[in-house]
């Protein structure tokens, strides 16, 4: 138990593994004027423009400040961290862009929801119509007729087939099919980074592990683990604690040997943004990846990929590293 030192700031008391850098960063942006400076610089920023600076006076003007004394103090707090000063003025550094982008994406700021809306796709389990629904910054694909792949609890809606993290800004797409396609592509991008040991949120290192349900029910949703899939791969970022999880198979969809296997049989997977048909083809292929435990000590999981009457088998270890590919 920590004895809280009452002379510490709440930020210092709470910091833990995030380190003093996090306290410093929060303190630097914990002020309305400084946030206004970041927003004003972002507003002035034009992607791919030659110059992306605001002069001191233009910045002062943009933020609505009349005197420069206090303003300089706030600007100095941001300089070197979120803002860079050049001979011509001020501009956002990468960290400043990331901070503003998180706000623009709506993360944690809005409570956007989307009531279940049917899409032009049938459930692989029962053939019923699928729908997309959004809450807690997750896009769920749900079956309107069967119990889906997961136990419905307070967070997971009934009939959930897929659950992908999705930013609220992504909901502005024009159709539920577009929203669905974007959520799948975003997830596949995340799979690829996780498989490479890279956190999609902070670029820190990610650790993978395999979890096998010890009392798995072969049919329907298992009461023990709350899933249909016996084997779950988990990823945890050791820097920011971002997590990912899912059956191992779909995470292999962009492995070079898997991509080649599909390509040789006429299916291109990969860059298919906003193309609902292509995303559905890729997803159908991914959903057919079957996994089984081939050894328990050490853990080895075999993923069988079938397409056009042929198969490819990929063996992964307890850290989701690929140890063999068998034609």
Q: Give residues in contact with Zn ion (CB under 5 A).
A: 123, 125-126, 128, 143, 146, 199, 201-202, 204, 213, 216, 222, 224-225, 237, 239-240, 242
Q: Give the nearest distance from C-beta 219 to Zn ion in angstroms.
A: 11
What is the Cα–Cα distance from 53 to 87, expressed in whole angstroms?
10
What is the Cα–Cα distance from 85 to 78, expressed in whole angstroms?
10
Main-chain dihedrals φ then ψ at residue 171, nearest 5 degrees: -75, -10
Q: Give the nearest distance from C-beta 255 to Zn ion in angstroms.
A: 22
Strands 231-237, 243-246: pairing is: antiparallel
Q: Give the nearest distance from C-beta 202 to Zn ion in angstroms.
A: 3
Please list the alpha-helical segments (H only) found in 64-207: 69-78, 94-104, 176-195
Is residue 184 a contact partner of residue 275, using CB atoms and an 8 Å limit?
A: no
Q: Give the nearest distance from C-beta 166 to Zn ion in angstroms.
A: 18
Q: What 3-state class would DSSP assign to 309? A: coil
Q: Give the nearest distance from C-beta 222 to Zn ion in angstroms.
A: 3
- Please choose, from the candidates 225, 209, 228, the residue with its C-alpha nearest in 3D space to the C-alpha of residue 149: 228
Q: How many CB atoms lie within 10 A of CB 256?
A: 8
Which is closer to Zn ion, CB of 125 or CB of 299? 125
Say which DSSP state 150 is in: B
- Please choose, from the candidates 136, 169, 167, the residue with its C-alpha nearest in 3D space to the C-alpha of residue 153: 136
Q: Give the nearest distance from C-beta 243 to Zn ion in angstroms.
A: 9
Which is closer to Zn ion, CB of 122 or CB of 310? 122
Which is closer to Zn ion, CB of 195 or CB of 199? 199
Say which DSSP state 54 is in: B
Which is closer to Zn ion, CB of 158 or CB of 270? 158
Which is closer to Zn ion, CB of 92 or CB of 225? 225
Which is closer to Zn ion, CB of 28 or CB of 190? 190
Q: Give the nearest distance from C-beta 69 to Zn ion in angstroms.
A: 39
What is the Cα–Cα distance from 316 to 305, expressed in whole angstroms?
13
């Amino acid at each position: 138990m920590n004895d809280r030192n009452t002379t510490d700031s709440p930020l210092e008391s709470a910091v833990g593994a995030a380190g003093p850098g996090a306290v410093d960063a929060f303190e630097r942006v914990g002020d309305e004027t400084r946030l206004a400076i970041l927003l004003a610089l972002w507003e002035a920023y034009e992607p791919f423009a030659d110059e992306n600076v605001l002069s001191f006076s233009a910045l002062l003007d943009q933020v609505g400040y009349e005197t420069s004394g206090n303003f300089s103090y706030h600007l100095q707090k941001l300089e070197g961290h979120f803002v860079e000063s050049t001979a011509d003025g001020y501009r956002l550094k990468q960290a400043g862009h990331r901070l503003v982008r998180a706000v623009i994406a709506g993360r944690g700021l809005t409570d956007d929801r989307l009531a279940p809306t049917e899409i032009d796709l049938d459930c692989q389990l029962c053939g019923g119509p699928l729908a997309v629904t959004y809450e807690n910054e997750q896009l769920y694909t749900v079956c309107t007729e069967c119990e889906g792949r997961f136990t419905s609890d307070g967070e997971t809606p009934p009939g959930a087939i897929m659950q992908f993290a999705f930013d609220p800004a992504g909901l502005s797409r024009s159709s539920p099919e577009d929203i669905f396609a974007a959520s799948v592509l975003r997830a596949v991008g995340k799979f690829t980074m996780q498989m490479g040991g890279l956190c999609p949120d902070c670029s820190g290192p990610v650790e993978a592990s395999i979890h096998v349900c010890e009392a798995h029910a072969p049919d329907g949703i298992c009461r023990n683990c709350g899933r249909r899939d016996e084997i779950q791969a988990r990823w945890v970022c050791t820097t920011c604690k971002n997590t990912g999880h899912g059956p191992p198979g779909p995470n292999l969809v962009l492995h070079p040997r898997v991509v080649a296997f599909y390509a040789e049989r006429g299916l291109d997977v990969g860059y298919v943004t906003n193309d609902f048909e292509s995303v559905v083809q890729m997803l159908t292929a991914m959903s057919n990846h079957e996994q089984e435990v081939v050894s328990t000590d050490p853990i080895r999981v075999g993923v069988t990929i079938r397409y056009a009457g042929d198969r490819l088998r990929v063996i992964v270890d307890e850290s989701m590293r690929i140890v063999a590919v068998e034609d």
